[in-house]
Structure 1
Amino acid sequence: MAAVLWAGAAAAVLFVAVFSIDGWTRPGYRPLRHPVSALALGPRGRVQAANFLCCGLLVTGAAAGVLGVGGGPLLAAAIAVFGLALAVSGVFPMDPMRGYPPGAPEGTPPRFSMRHQVHDAAGAAVFLALPAAAFAAAVVLPGAVVSWYSALTGAAVLALLLLFSRAWELDRPLTGLIQRAMIVVGWTWLALMLALFAVRAD
Protein backbone atom coordinates (compact mmCIF):
# COMPACT_ATOMS: atom_id res chain seq x y z
CA MET A 1 0.00 0.00 0.00
CA ALA A 2 2.77 2.41 0.93
CA ALA A 3 4.61 1.66 -2.31
CA VAL A 4 1.78 2.84 -4.57
CA LEU A 5 1.37 5.98 -2.48
CA TRP A 6 5.08 6.81 -2.64
CA ALA A 7 4.99 6.12 -6.40
CA GLY A 8 2.10 8.57 -6.83
CA ALA A 9 3.90 11.23 -4.79
CA ALA A 10 7.09 10.79 -6.81
CA ALA A 11 5.12 10.91 -10.06
CA ALA A 12 3.62 14.28 -9.12
CA VAL A 13 7.07 15.72 -8.45
CA LEU A 14 8.61 14.22 -11.58
CA PHE A 15 5.74 15.49 -13.73
CA VAL A 16 6.66 19.07 -12.85
CA ALA A 17 10.39 18.41 -13.27
CA VAL A 18 9.94 16.83 -16.70
CA PHE A 19 7.76 19.53 -18.25
CA SER A 20 9.93 22.27 -16.72
CA ILE A 21 13.19 20.91 -18.13
CA ASP A 22 11.65 19.91 -21.45
CA GLY A 23 9.89 23.25 -21.84
CA TRP A 24 12.97 25.36 -21.23
CA THR A 25 15.09 23.27 -23.62
CA ARG A 26 12.58 22.71 -26.43
CA PRO A 27 13.37 24.68 -29.63
CA GLY A 28 10.56 27.05 -30.57
CA TYR A 29 8.63 26.46 -27.35
CA ARG A 30 7.90 29.46 -25.12
CA PRO A 31 7.12 28.33 -21.56
CA LEU A 32 5.71 31.71 -20.54
CA ARG A 33 3.14 31.67 -23.32
CA HIS A 34 2.52 28.06 -24.35
CA PRO A 35 0.62 25.59 -22.17
CA VAL A 36 2.22 22.43 -20.84
CA SER A 37 -0.01 20.38 -23.16
CA ALA A 38 1.73 21.84 -26.21
CA LEU A 39 4.84 19.90 -25.22
CA ALA A 40 3.06 16.74 -26.39
CA LEU A 41 3.42 18.09 -29.95
CA GLY A 42 6.46 18.25 -32.19
CA PRO A 43 9.55 16.04 -32.51
CA ARG A 44 9.90 15.51 -28.76
CA GLY A 45 6.18 15.26 -28.11
CA ARG A 46 6.43 11.69 -26.84
CA VAL A 47 8.26 12.94 -23.76
CA GLN A 48 5.30 14.95 -22.47
CA ALA A 49 2.78 12.38 -23.70
CA ALA A 50 4.58 9.77 -21.60
CA ASN A 51 4.77 12.26 -18.73
CA PHE A 52 0.98 12.68 -18.79
CA LEU A 53 0.37 8.95 -19.06
CA CYS A 54 2.85 7.75 -16.43
CA CYS A 55 1.94 10.39 -13.85
CA GLY A 56 -1.76 9.84 -14.43
CA LEU A 57 -1.61 6.08 -14.03
CA LEU A 58 0.62 6.21 -10.95
CA VAL A 59 -1.62 8.77 -9.26
CA THR A 60 -4.67 6.66 -10.12
CA GLY A 61 -2.99 3.71 -8.43
CA ALA A 62 -2.23 5.90 -5.43
CA ALA A 63 -5.95 6.75 -5.15
CA ALA A 64 -6.58 3.12 -4.23
CA GLY A 65 -3.91 3.47 -1.56
CA VAL A 66 -5.61 6.59 -0.19
CA LEU A 67 -8.85 4.65 0.15
CA GLY A 68 -7.04 1.73 1.74
CA VAL A 69 -5.50 3.83 4.52
CA GLY A 70 -8.69 5.64 5.46
CA GLY A 71 -8.64 8.71 3.24
CA GLY A 72 -12.32 8.30 2.50
CA PRO A 73 -14.15 7.50 -0.75
CA LEU A 74 -14.68 11.12 -1.82
CA LEU A 75 -11.00 12.05 -1.60
CA ALA A 76 -9.92 8.80 -3.24
CA ALA A 77 -12.46 9.24 -6.05
CA ALA A 78 -11.34 12.83 -6.76
CA ILE A 79 -7.70 11.73 -6.93
CA ALA A 80 -8.63 8.81 -9.21
CA VAL A 81 -10.55 11.11 -11.58
CA PHE A 82 -7.56 13.47 -11.61
CA GLY A 83 -5.17 10.63 -12.45
CA LEU A 84 -7.32 9.07 -15.15
CA ALA A 85 -8.02 12.42 -16.81
CA LEU A 86 -4.30 13.22 -16.79
CA ALA A 87 -3.57 9.91 -18.50
CA VAL A 88 -6.23 10.64 -21.14
CA SER A 89 -4.52 13.99 -21.78
CA GLY A 90 -1.44 12.07 -22.86
CA VAL A 91 -3.34 9.80 -25.24
CA PHE A 92 -5.23 12.65 -26.92
CA PRO A 93 -2.91 15.64 -27.55
CA MET A 94 -4.10 19.16 -28.30
CA ASP A 95 -4.05 20.62 -31.82
CA PRO A 96 -1.05 22.62 -33.07
CA MET A 97 -1.69 26.36 -32.70
CA ARG A 98 -0.30 29.68 -31.54
CA GLY A 99 3.10 29.14 -33.10
CA TYR A 100 3.84 25.71 -31.69
CA PRO A 101 5.14 23.41 -32.98
CA PRO A 102 7.27 25.65 -35.20
CA GLY A 103 5.33 26.33 -38.36
CA ALA A 104 1.92 26.08 -36.71
CA PRO A 105 -0.48 29.01 -37.23
CA GLU A 106 -0.05 31.85 -34.73
CA GLY A 107 -3.73 32.08 -33.97
CA THR A 108 -6.38 29.68 -32.71
CA PRO A 109 -8.00 27.35 -35.27
CA PRO A 110 -11.65 28.11 -36.06
CA ARG A 111 -12.49 24.44 -35.43
CA PHE A 112 -10.84 21.82 -33.24
CA SER A 113 -10.23 18.17 -34.00
CA MET A 114 -11.99 15.46 -32.01
CA ARG A 115 -8.76 14.60 -30.21
CA HIS A 116 -8.38 18.22 -29.12
CA GLN A 117 -11.92 18.24 -27.77
CA VAL A 118 -11.21 15.09 -25.78
CA HIS A 119 -8.01 16.68 -24.51
CA ASP A 120 -9.91 19.79 -23.43
CA ALA A 121 -12.51 17.72 -21.59
CA ALA A 122 -9.78 15.73 -19.87
CA GLY A 123 -7.98 18.94 -18.91
CA ALA A 124 -11.14 20.35 -17.38
CA ALA A 125 -11.54 17.15 -15.35
CA VAL A 126 -7.93 17.38 -14.16
CA PHE A 127 -8.17 20.97 -12.98
CA LEU A 128 -11.57 20.53 -11.34
CA ALA A 129 -10.81 17.18 -9.68
CA LEU A 130 -7.68 18.60 -8.07
CA PRO A 131 -9.39 21.35 -6.02
CA ALA A 132 -12.22 18.89 -5.30
CA ALA A 133 -9.63 16.54 -3.79
CA ALA A 134 -8.08 19.37 -1.80
CA PHE A 135 -11.44 20.45 -0.38
CA ALA A 136 -12.30 16.83 0.44
CA ALA A 137 -8.98 16.49 2.27
CA ALA A 138 -9.69 19.66 4.23
CA VAL A 139 -12.82 17.95 5.58
CA VAL A 140 -11.66 14.39 6.18
CA LEU A 141 -8.03 14.73 7.26
CA PRO A 142 -7.24 15.47 10.90
CA GLY A 143 -5.01 18.34 11.93
CA ALA A 144 -5.53 22.07 11.53
CA VAL A 145 -2.40 22.59 9.44
CA VAL A 146 -3.29 19.89 6.91
CA SER A 147 -6.91 21.02 6.79
CA TRP A 148 -6.11 24.68 6.22
CA TYR A 149 -3.35 23.91 3.72
CA SER A 150 -5.73 21.73 1.73
CA ALA A 151 -8.51 24.32 1.77
CA LEU A 152 -6.16 27.11 0.71
CA THR A 153 -4.74 24.94 -2.06
CA GLY A 154 -8.21 24.21 -3.39
CA ALA A 155 -9.08 27.91 -3.40
CA ALA A 156 -5.77 28.88 -5.01
CA VAL A 157 -6.11 26.29 -7.79
CA LEU A 158 -9.63 27.48 -8.58
CA ALA A 159 -8.54 31.12 -8.65
CA LEU A 160 -5.59 30.32 -10.92
CA LEU A 161 -7.85 28.20 -13.12
CA LEU A 162 -10.10 31.22 -13.69
CA LEU A 163 -7.08 33.39 -14.50
CA PHE A 164 -5.67 30.76 -16.83
CA SER A 165 -8.99 30.27 -18.63
CA ARG A 166 -9.25 34.00 -19.29
CA ALA A 167 -5.61 34.26 -20.36
CA TRP A 168 -6.04 31.30 -22.70
CA GLU A 169 -9.10 32.78 -24.36
CA LEU A 170 -7.27 36.06 -25.00
CA ASP A 171 -3.92 34.39 -25.82
CA ARG A 172 -2.09 36.47 -23.23
CA PRO A 173 1.74 36.35 -23.30
CA LEU A 174 1.89 34.91 -19.76
CA THR A 175 -0.71 32.18 -20.25
CA GLY A 176 1.86 29.44 -19.78
CA LEU A 177 3.23 31.03 -16.63
CA ILE A 178 -0.22 31.17 -15.02
CA GLN A 179 -0.84 27.54 -15.86
CA ARG A 180 2.53 26.54 -14.44
CA ALA A 181 1.76 28.36 -11.20
CA MET A 182 -1.52 26.46 -10.97
CA ILE A 183 0.18 23.13 -11.63
CA VAL A 184 3.00 23.72 -9.15
CA VAL A 185 0.56 24.71 -6.39
CA GLY A 186 -1.74 21.76 -7.05
CA TRP A 187 0.81 19.06 -7.76
CA THR A 188 2.90 20.06 -4.72
CA TRP A 189 -0.14 19.61 -2.50
CA LEU A 190 -0.90 16.27 -4.13
CA ALA A 191 2.66 15.00 -3.66
CA LEU A 192 2.66 16.02 0.00
CA MET A 193 -0.73 14.44 0.70
CA LEU A 194 0.22 11.16 -0.96
CA ALA A 195 3.49 11.16 0.99
CA LEU A 196 1.52 11.75 4.20
CA PHE A 197 -0.69 8.76 3.46
CA ALA A 198 2.37 6.69 2.57
CA VAL A 199 3.91 7.45 5.95
CA ARG A 200 0.67 6.35 7.58
CA ALA A 201 0.73 3.10 5.62
CA ASP A 202 4.34 2.23 6.56
Structure 2
Amino acid sequence: MTAIQLPATSTAKTLSTRSLVTAAVVAAPLWAVVSLAQAATREGYDLTRHPLSVLSNGSLGWLQIANFVVAGLLTVAGAIGLRRALHGTPGGTWAPRLVLLNGVGMIAAGLFVMDPADGFPVGTPAGMGTLSWHSYGHLAAGSIAFIALIAACYVLGRHFSRAGNRGYAIASRIAGTALLLGNGWAMSGGKAGSLTLAIGAITAMLWVSFVAARYRHAR
Protein backbone atom coordinates (compact mmCIF):
# COMPACT_ATOMS: atom_id res chain seq x y z
CA MET A 1 0.00 0.00 0.00
CA THR A 2 1.11 3.54 -0.71
CA ALA A 3 1.78 5.59 2.40
CA ILE A 4 -0.47 8.61 2.86
CA GLN A 5 1.50 11.81 2.68
CA LEU A 6 0.33 14.75 4.75
CA PRO A 7 0.46 18.15 3.04
CA ALA A 8 3.66 20.01 3.82
CA THR A 9 1.72 22.91 5.36
CA SER A 10 -0.14 20.52 7.70
CA THR A 11 3.09 18.84 8.78
CA ALA A 12 4.77 22.19 9.39
CA LYS A 13 1.83 23.40 11.48
CA THR A 14 1.89 20.22 13.55
CA LEU A 15 5.62 20.62 14.21
CA SER A 16 5.13 24.30 15.05
CA THR A 17 2.34 23.48 17.50
CA ARG A 18 4.44 20.77 19.10
CA SER A 19 7.36 23.17 19.52
CA LEU A 20 5.12 25.79 21.12
CA VAL A 21 3.55 23.26 23.49
CA THR A 22 7.05 22.09 24.41
CA ALA A 23 7.73 25.61 25.68
CA ALA A 24 4.91 25.14 28.21
CA VAL A 25 6.35 21.75 29.18
CA VAL A 26 9.75 23.31 29.95
CA ALA A 27 8.65 26.56 31.65
CA ALA A 28 7.63 25.31 35.10
CA PRO A 29 10.46 22.79 35.70
CA LEU A 30 13.00 25.41 34.61
CA TRP A 31 11.60 28.06 36.94
CA ALA A 32 11.30 25.64 39.85
CA VAL A 33 14.80 24.17 39.50
CA VAL A 34 16.52 27.55 39.14
CA SER A 35 14.54 29.03 42.05
CA LEU A 36 15.03 26.11 44.44
CA ALA A 37 18.72 25.76 43.58
CA GLN A 38 19.22 29.39 44.57
CA ALA A 39 17.08 28.94 47.69
CA ALA A 40 19.36 26.10 48.77
CA THR A 41 22.66 27.84 48.06
CA ARG A 42 22.40 31.60 48.45
CA GLU A 43 23.72 32.92 51.75
CA GLY A 44 21.11 34.24 54.16
CA TYR A 45 18.11 32.90 52.27
CA ASP A 46 15.45 30.95 54.20
CA LEU A 47 12.45 29.61 52.27
CA THR A 48 10.33 29.61 55.42
CA ARG A 49 10.87 33.39 55.76
CA HIS A 50 11.62 34.70 52.30
CA PRO A 51 9.49 34.43 49.14
CA LEU A 52 11.30 33.13 46.07
CA SER A 53 10.81 36.55 44.47
CA VAL A 54 13.25 38.17 46.89
CA LEU A 55 16.04 36.19 45.18
CA SER A 56 15.94 38.90 42.49
CA ASN A 57 18.09 41.02 44.84
CA GLY A 58 21.82 40.92 45.55
CA SER A 59 24.78 40.22 43.27
CA LEU A 60 23.07 37.17 41.77
CA GLY A 61 19.66 38.80 41.57
CA TRP A 62 19.91 38.95 37.78
CA LEU A 63 19.59 35.16 37.72
CA GLN A 64 16.12 35.16 39.29
CA ILE A 65 15.04 38.13 37.19
CA ALA A 66 16.07 36.22 34.06
CA ASN A 67 14.36 33.12 35.46
CA PHE A 68 11.03 34.96 35.71
CA VAL A 69 11.33 36.53 32.27
CA VAL A 70 12.47 33.39 30.43
CA ALA A 71 9.88 31.16 32.12
CA GLY A 72 7.23 33.79 31.38
CA LEU A 73 8.16 33.94 27.71
CA LEU A 74 8.10 30.14 27.49
CA THR A 75 4.67 30.14 29.15
CA VAL A 76 3.34 32.68 26.65
CA ALA A 77 4.63 30.60 23.75
CA GLY A 78 3.21 27.48 25.36
CA ALA A 79 -0.20 29.13 25.70
CA ILE A 80 -0.28 29.68 21.94
CA GLY A 81 0.51 26.01 21.41
CA LEU A 82 -2.14 24.94 23.91
CA ARG A 83 -4.72 27.08 22.13
CA ARG A 84 -4.07 25.05 18.99
CA ALA A 85 -3.86 21.71 20.79
CA LEU A 86 -7.06 22.28 22.78
CA HIS A 87 -9.02 23.83 19.91
CA GLY A 88 -12.62 22.68 19.90
CA THR A 89 -12.50 21.19 23.41
CA PRO A 90 -14.37 22.45 26.54
CA GLY A 91 -11.25 24.17 27.87
CA GLY A 92 -9.90 25.18 24.50
CA THR A 93 -10.81 28.86 24.81
CA TRP A 94 -10.15 29.90 28.39
CA ALA A 95 -7.36 27.59 29.56
CA PRO A 96 -4.86 28.92 26.98
CA ARG A 97 -5.93 32.52 27.64
CA LEU A 98 -5.37 32.12 31.36
CA VAL A 99 -2.01 30.40 30.84
CA LEU A 100 -1.05 33.31 28.57
CA LEU A 101 -2.02 35.82 31.27
CA ASN A 102 0.01 33.84 33.77
CA GLY A 103 3.04 34.08 31.49
CA VAL A 104 2.63 37.83 31.03
CA GLY A 105 2.34 38.22 34.80
CA MET A 106 5.57 36.27 35.29
CA ILE A 107 7.42 38.49 32.84
CA ALA A 108 6.17 41.61 34.62
CA ALA A 109 7.05 40.09 38.02
CA GLY A 110 10.60 39.64 36.78
CA LEU A 111 10.89 43.19 35.48
CA PHE A 112 9.42 44.74 38.65
CA VAL A 113 11.85 43.59 41.32
CA MET A 114 10.68 42.91 44.86
CA ASP A 115 12.51 44.88 47.56
CA PRO A 116 15.16 43.28 49.81
CA ALA A 117 13.42 42.05 52.95
CA ASP A 118 13.84 40.47 56.36
CA GLY A 119 17.59 39.97 56.31
CA PHE A 120 18.01 39.04 52.64
CA PRO A 121 20.35 39.79 51.02
CA VAL A 122 22.72 39.59 53.97
CA GLY A 123 22.84 42.96 55.72
CA THR A 124 19.23 43.87 55.00
CA PRO A 125 17.37 44.94 58.18
CA ALA A 126 14.79 42.59 59.66
CA GLY A 127 11.18 43.08 58.59
CA MET A 128 9.67 44.29 55.32
CA GLY A 129 10.22 48.05 55.52
CA THR A 130 8.52 50.56 53.21
CA LEU A 131 7.65 49.13 49.80
CA SER A 132 8.99 50.84 46.69
CA TRP A 133 6.94 51.42 43.52
CA HIS A 134 8.60 48.49 41.78
CA SER A 135 7.83 46.21 44.71
CA TYR A 136 4.16 47.20 44.45
CA GLY A 137 4.43 46.46 40.72
CA HIS A 138 5.87 43.04 41.50
CA LEU A 139 3.07 42.26 43.94
CA ALA A 140 0.43 43.31 41.39
CA ALA A 141 2.05 41.26 38.62
CA GLY A 142 2.41 38.26 40.91
CA SER A 143 -1.23 38.50 41.94
CA ILE A 144 -2.34 38.54 38.30
CA ALA A 145 -0.09 35.57 37.51
CA PHE A 146 -1.36 33.54 40.48
CA ILE A 147 -5.05 34.30 39.90
CA ALA A 148 -4.72 33.37 36.23
CA LEU A 149 -2.88 30.15 37.10
CA ILE A 150 -5.46 29.15 39.72
CA ALA A 151 -8.28 29.82 37.25
CA ALA A 152 -6.46 27.88 34.51
CA CYS A 153 -6.21 24.83 36.77
CA TYR A 154 -9.95 24.96 37.52
CA VAL A 155 -10.80 25.41 33.84
CA LEU A 156 -8.63 22.39 33.05
CA GLY A 157 -10.49 20.52 35.78
CA ARG A 158 -13.77 21.24 33.99
CA HIS A 159 -12.15 20.34 30.66
CA PHE A 160 -11.04 16.91 31.87
CA SER A 161 -14.30 16.32 33.72
CA ARG A 162 -16.31 16.87 30.54
CA ALA A 163 -13.87 14.65 28.66
CA GLY A 164 -14.56 11.85 31.16
CA ASN A 165 -11.05 11.87 32.65
CA ARG A 166 -11.95 12.01 36.34
CA GLY A 167 -8.38 11.53 37.61
CA TYR A 168 -7.00 14.47 35.66
CA ALA A 169 -10.02 16.59 36.61
CA ILE A 170 -9.37 15.98 40.31
CA ALA A 171 -5.63 16.60 39.93
CA SER A 172 -6.30 19.91 38.14
CA ARG A 173 -8.53 21.11 40.96
CA ILE A 174 -6.06 19.97 43.61
CA ALA A 175 -3.27 21.92 41.88
CA GLY A 176 -5.40 25.07 41.71
CA THR A 177 -6.48 24.70 45.33
CA ALA A 178 -2.87 24.18 46.47
CA LEU A 179 -1.94 27.57 45.04
CA LEU A 180 -5.14 29.22 46.27
CA LEU A 181 -4.53 28.05 49.84
CA GLY A 182 -0.77 28.60 49.74
CA ASN A 183 -1.14 32.15 48.49
CA GLY A 184 -3.97 32.87 50.91
CA TRP A 185 -1.91 31.65 53.87
CA ALA A 186 1.08 33.74 52.79
CA MET A 187 -1.04 36.88 52.28
CA SER A 188 -2.59 36.44 55.72
CA GLY A 189 0.86 36.47 57.31
CA GLY A 190 0.69 32.83 58.35
CA LYS A 191 3.79 31.09 59.69
CA ALA A 192 6.10 29.86 56.91
CA GLY A 193 3.76 31.50 54.40
CA SER A 194 6.54 31.87 51.84
CA LEU A 195 7.01 28.09 51.95
CA THR A 196 3.30 27.33 51.44
CA LEU A 197 3.22 29.84 48.59
CA ALA A 198 6.22 28.22 46.92
CA ILE A 199 4.68 24.75 47.26
CA GLY A 200 1.35 25.92 45.85
CA ALA A 201 2.87 27.87 42.96
CA ILE A 202 5.24 25.11 41.91
CA THR A 203 2.48 22.48 42.18
CA ALA A 204 0.13 24.46 39.91
CA MET A 205 2.87 25.37 37.45
CA LEU A 206 4.10 21.79 37.18
CA TRP A 207 0.55 20.58 36.60
CA VAL A 208 0.16 22.91 33.61
CA SER A 209 3.49 21.59 32.30
CA PHE A 210 2.27 18.03 32.76
CA VAL A 211 -0.94 18.77 30.85
CA ALA A 212 1.11 20.41 28.10
CA ALA A 213 3.30 17.29 27.89
CA ARG A 214 0.19 15.15 27.55
CA TYR A 215 -1.03 17.16 24.58
CA ARG A 216 2.42 17.38 23.05
CA HIS A 217 2.62 13.57 22.86
CA ALA A 218 -0.92 13.45 21.51
CA ARG A 219 0.03 15.53 18.46
What TM-score do the two structures reach when normalised by structure 2? Answer: 0.85
What's 1:7 paired with? 23
Runs of 4+ in structure 1 off by over 3 angstroms are none
Counterpart residue identity of residue 88, structure 1: A
1:175 equivalent in structure 2: 193
Q: Which residue does 2:185 correspond to in 1?
A: 163
Partner of 1:79: 99
**How far did residue 49 of structure 1 move?**
0.5
> How many residue pairs end up in the alignment?
196
Gaps of 5+ in 2: 1-16
Aligned equivalent of 2:210 = 192
Deviations 1:33-79 (A, max 9, x none): 11000100001001111110000010111101111112512111100
The offset of 1:188, in angstroms, is: 1.7
SS in 2 for 1:102: coil
Name stretches of at least 5 consecutive residues in structure 1 with no aligned partner: none
Bigger CA drift: 35-44 or 133-142?
133-142
Counterpart code for 1:145: G
Deviates more, 1:42-51 or 1:2-11: 2-11
Aligned with residue 168 of structure 2, among 146, 153, 158: 146
State the distance in 2 between where 1:60 and 1:107 align.
34
Alignment partner for residue 94 of structure 1, among 97, 101, 114? 114
SS of equivalent to 2:188? helix
Matched, 1:132 2:148: no
Q: Counterpart amino acid of 2:144? A: A
Structure 1 Cα separation of the partners of residues 147 and 200 of structure 2: 12
| 2:61 aligned with 1:41 | no
SS at match of 1:6: helix
Question: Is 1:25–2:41 an aligned residue pair?
Answer: yes
With normalisation by structure 1, the TM-score equals 0.92
- Aligned-pair Cα RMSD in Å: 1.4
Q: Secondary structure at the match of 1:11?
A: helix
Identity across the alignment (%): 28
Moved more, 135-144 or 123-132: 135-144
Q: CA deviation at 1:24?
A: 0.7
| Deviation readout 1:146-179 (Å, 9 max, x if unpaired) | 1121122222221222112123xx6x4x233212
What are the residue-to-residue correspondences of 1:41-80 with 2, within 5 Å? Answer: 41-69=57-85, 70=87, 71-80=91-100
Tell me by how many angstroms 1:18 deviates: 0.6
Code of the residue aligned with 1:148 in structure 2: it is: I
State the shift of 1:14 in Å.
Answer: 1.3
Greater relative CO (CA pairs within 8 A, separation 6+): 1
Q: CA contact under 8 A between 2:182 and 2:193: conserved in structure 1?
A: no
